[in-house]
Structure 1
Amino acid sequence: MKNLFVIVFIFLGTLAQAQLTSKEEVAPELVEKREAQKKEITKNYLALKNNLIISDSLAVVKNATALQQSLKDFRFKKLSLEQMNEATTKRKEIIDLVAQVAATKNINKQRKIVQLLSVKFWDLAPKFKAADAALYLQVCPMTSAMWLSDSKEIKNPYYPKNMLTCGEVKASL
């Protein structure tokens, strides 16, 4: 019985060491690829938001399609099963909203959908944000509409003609 205990102890110790080693030895090219995917997601969201500011609905459709694809290609890492399920569900909700944005050329409909999209995107932004990037959560106090930006400067994508500079930074990553 004592020998069995020793063998199990050695086996578990070896298994734990193997897991620790595999986590430590992540290939640099995989880290670079993951960071590139994160930058792509953020770039596509910001391009979509910036094209709402200039009211270019055709560019918004293009950006929404690109964002949809970059989100589909992204895989979450280092999450518990519960966290993975929650993140995957939220990503699917975001992808569905992005598909709705891509399906219409009506700029006002796009803006309405992106308001909801931005709320959901912010929830996952810590997982999508590249290590060397900053994101700011901005909110229009008149309407409570929120969006993300890579700059502290306020440019309201929902009301660019009447309230372009209406908003404030509420949080940052």
Structure 2
Amino acid sequence: MKMRLIIPGLIVAIAFSACNQSAKTIGSDTADSTSVGTPPTADLKDEHTQKVYNSYLKLKDVLVASDSSGASEAGKELAVALGAIKGCENTSTLATKISASADLKTQRTHFTALSSDIVDLMKHTDVNSGALYVQFCPMANEGAGGYWLAAEKEVRNPYYGDEMLNCGEVKETIGIGKN
């Protein structure tokens, strides 16, 4: 009987510690570390793609802060920015789905597919200066994992917010100044 209780506890402990094995960052994990509106560190050559990137970062930041109403607003802004780019209609629809939901879990689920499209878009855009960081959390989406873009190397997980703020790692750097 005791083994039935111990094994699930060990599995949860191992899964949680896997995310905490990523590089530790300087600073604390307090609420101020999830502030919204981090200025983008990359300057893109195309102004429409720049608007998408800026809007995407706002959405990512409000998901980090677990702010579902902020995600709805940011999703609307991103949908408009994506609508200005030919071929991004389906991705704009994903942003609209985020804006139409008040449920944080649903928003984060749509964010997974949206991020995949946005990462692909950014990989095919020209960067004047700075870098974009493709980050990944193996725990997101019930263990299926999830990618997202960030303006900084420091991991701030949009799939879990404060629950697992630093779960993830940088998988790729797009742009100038790759380290």
Shorter-chain TM-score range? 0.5 to 0.7
* Residue aligned with 1:131, SS: strand
Q: Which of residues 49, 57, 61 in structure 2 aligns to 1:46? A: 57
Instruction: Find the aligned partners of 1:58 and 1:47 in 2 and give their Cα distance.
Output: 12
Higher relative CO (Cα under 8 Å, sequence separation at least 6) belongs to 2
Q: CA deviation at 1:120?
A: 1.5
Deviations 1:85-105 (A, max 9, x none): xxx1xx122111111101111
* Residue aligned with 1:161, SS: helix
Whichever structure has more strand as a proportion of its residues is: 2
Gaps of 5+ in 1: 1-33, 76-87
Question: What percentage of aligned pairs have identical amino acids?
Answer: 32
Go from structure 1 to structure 2 and tell me whether the alpha carbon gap of 1:129 and 1:154 turns closer, same or farther (over 3 Å shift). farther
- Tell me the equivalent position of 1:163: 164
- Tell me the equivalent position of 2:147: 146
Deviations 1:73-118 (A, max 9, x none): 235xxxxxxxxxxxx1xx1221111111011111111011101111
Deviations 1:47-85 (A, max 9, x none): 00000011111111111111111111235xxxxxxxxxx
Q: Which of residues 101, 110, 120 in structure 2 aligns to 1:104? A: 101
- Tell me the equivalent position of 2:76: 65
- Structure 1 outlier segments of 4+, above 6 Å: none
Q: Does 1:37 align with 2:38?
A: no
Report if aligned partners of 1:129, 1:135 keep a CA contact under 8 Å in 2: no
* Residue aligned with 1:170, SS: strand
Q: Does 1:93 align with 2:104?
A: no
Report if aligned partners of 2:65, 2:162 keep a CA contact under 8 Å in 1: no
Report if aligned partners of 1:39, 1:130 keep a CA contact under 8 Å in 2: no
Q: Which amino acid is 1:160 matched to?
A: G
Larger Rg: 1
Q: CA deviation at 1:130?
A: 4.6
* Residue aligned with 2:148, SS: strand
Aligned residues: 128
* Residue aligned with 1:59, SS: helix
Instruction: Find the aligned partners of 2:99 and 2:146 in 1 and give their Cα distance.
Output: 20
Whichever structure has more helix as a proportion of its residues is: 1
Instruction: Find the aligned partners of 1:105 and 1:115 in 2 and give their Cα distance.
Output: 17
Deviations 1:2-61 (A, max 9, x none): xxxxxxxxxxxxxxxxxxxxxxxxxxxxxxxx6332221101000000000111111111
Q: Which amino acid is 2:69 matched to?
A: L
TM-score (norm 2): 0.65
TM-score (norm 1): 0.67
Instruction: Find the aligned partners of 1:172 and 1:156 in 2 and give their Cα distance.
Output: 17
Q: CA deviation at 1:160?
A: 1.5
Report if aligned partners of 2:132, 2:152 keep a CA contact under 8 Å in 1: yes
